[in-house]
Structure formats: structure tokens, C-alpha cells
Structure 1
Amino acid sequence: MNDEENLWPPALGHHPAGTVRRTELEALSNVRVVLEWCASGRLRCSAKTGRPTAASVAGLASLLAAGDFYRNEAIAAYAWPLIVQAAGLAELAGTRLQLTPRGHTALTAPPAGTIRSLWTRWVSHGVIDELSRVEEIKGQRSSNALTSVKTRRQTVAHALETSAAGEWVDIDHLFRRMRRGKLSPTVARSERAMWKL
């Protein structure tokens, strides 16, 4: 392990095509931050949708290891509250997320095991459909327009399982491999539904 690998928070690397983030290391820190915020009662979400409030997203983004991915578009800070809800580690009490008994256990457990269980639960129990944040895709609320989010997530999870452990994969390479292996998730339920989107 070289000196750069010992840095905490993880150092950002630069690549000709952009910035390299060691998200696997960031996640180990971030899961603890999110659980502590839930334990303190500072993480607020909509009682109706379960989505985090803008103030909670902004506050959480400032605490995440290496910050969020983009300055003007919260991704990680928006996702973490949804992920811990999907995993049953936190639940809404009014508009505040509070830890469940499982969440209290996770707060003191090794974070790698917690991350593993978060991923497993997200694949089958996500709180929202990720596509709902892409407002440019109109017609998502039409009946029978989108395929099951669970099915799409399972397809992506299966594609990721085909990647070699411990190796980085370029996203374009992953997408090409998914198309060749017929592992691209189907979004529209039918050709007719495609016209609704």
C-alpha cells in the first residue's frame, strides 16, 4: 500500500477523462455519518415520499467523505437517506429519520458488512425509482409505462456481478458488455409505452 492509499479521507485521483473517486473507501465512512445523523434526529424526509428535504441533503453533503459528486446536483446526499430506509436501518417518525434496532446494531458493526447488506436490500427494496429524478423523462407516471424497478435493479446487479472483483471497470466498457450479454435493463413495458415516455 502506498502513501496515497493511506490518506483519509481518500485522495481524489485525476484521470484524463475526469476525476477518479475511491467510493468504496468513502462509503465506509459515509454509512457511519448517515447513521449518526439519523440517531441524532437531524435527518429529515418528507412524511409522504420518504425523500430527504433540501436542508438535510445540503447538510449531509457537507459531511460526506470527499463531498458529493457534483457541486450543484446532490446524488450521494440524496441517495443515502433512501438507502438506509430501504435497508430497514432507519424509518420515518413524522418527518425525522430514526434508527431502527437493526440501525443501532449497524452503527457499531463493521461498516463493510453494513454496506454489503445495504446493496442487497436496495436491489429488491428501493424506496423510489431512480428514474423519477430524471425530470426530462416525461410520462413516467402513466400507467404501465415503466418496467418494474426491482427487475431493472436485478438486471444491473447481475451485470455488475460479472465484473472481476477488485478491478475498476470503465462505465462505457460495462455498458458495452451489458448490451452484448443482453443485460441492459428494459425501461419501457412495451413499444406503446415507449411513446408515453
Structure 2
Amino acid sequence: DLVLIDAGCEIDCYASDITRTFPVSGRFSPEQKAIYELVLKAQAAAFAEIAPGKHWNHAHEATVQVITEGLVELGLLEGEVQALIDSEAYRAFYMHRAGHWLGMDVHDVGEYKVGGEWRVLEPGMALTVEPGIYIGADNQAVAKKWRGIGVRIEDDVVVTRQGCEILTSGVPRTVAEIEALMLAARKDAA
């Protein structure tokens, strides 16, 4: 089993929003690890698309591309990647956007489109980056080994002049970091 914690908090009138997924057993199963690493790869692709002059949807488009490619590689989706993206077949597993504005509220105010066009990012804007993959426990379209796996990884970023700064980078994110944290927690509990 996996535990997914989506936590928001405030300090000095500013909000944060972070999600981590970790294995109850302390170690990811091979299938959990494959999904986790795919979500992590999608998040890294989104980070690379956050910079001044790029529009709001670039990060989401990057996550959709990576997740769809990965779902095909894992055998969870079948078909040509672009056709699956065009038909939104990935939405059976990734049904939300890649993030939202962040500021004085966890879901802060602000338009995502201006004049019908995706908003262009500017230095100082704060947002979340939170791709996820969710495979229903009752999903008969996938092999049993995949059923019930749900992973989201969310971090907070601010747009800088060169790209973005990950404000929550000090929180364990990789498989190795999560498993090490779980091992340390078990040792502390013993």
C-alpha cells in the first residue's frame, strides 16, 4: 500500500502546498517504483518548462507527454503516443492539471488564460507542480499488479529570471530518499 499526503500550510500569510507518496512497507514494489519514477520524470519535465516568456500550459503539456509515453512503455496504454494525447486517453490515469497558482492561499487567485491565450509566466509568480498517476483498484483494463497504485508528487516553485526555483527542494523526493526516510523512521520507532 501507498500513503499519499497532500499538505498545505501557511506562514507569515503565505501558503504552501506539497504532496509526497510513500510506501507503507518502507520500500516501493517494482510496480509502485515504476509509477513513482514516471511521475518524478514528468515533474522534472515540467520544471524545465517553467521560465519567463513560457506560457502557463507548457508545464502541463510536458507532464502529459512524459506520462503518456511512460504509460505506453509500461503497457498501461496501447497505441501511438500523439494519438493517445490527442484523444486524452491518458486522462484515465492522469485526470488533473499539473499545478495551480500559489500565494496567499493554497489555490491562489489568478487567471490561467488572458484574452483566450495561456498566461505568460513572469518572474515572481509562484505555482505548484503536481503530476500524478492513479490506477483504480477495480480497473479491469490493466494487469492486476498495477491496480490500486496512486502516486502524486507536488512541489512549490517560483518563476525566476532564468527558470524556476523549487521552494520545497529540501523535502525528500526521489525513491532512494523516500525509502531512506522510511528506514530512518522505522529505526527511530524501534
TM-score by length of 1: 0.27
More helix by share: 1
Larger radius of gyration: 1
Higher relative contact order (CA 8 A, sep 6+): 2
Question: Which structure dedicates a bigger proportion of its chain to strand?
Answer: 2
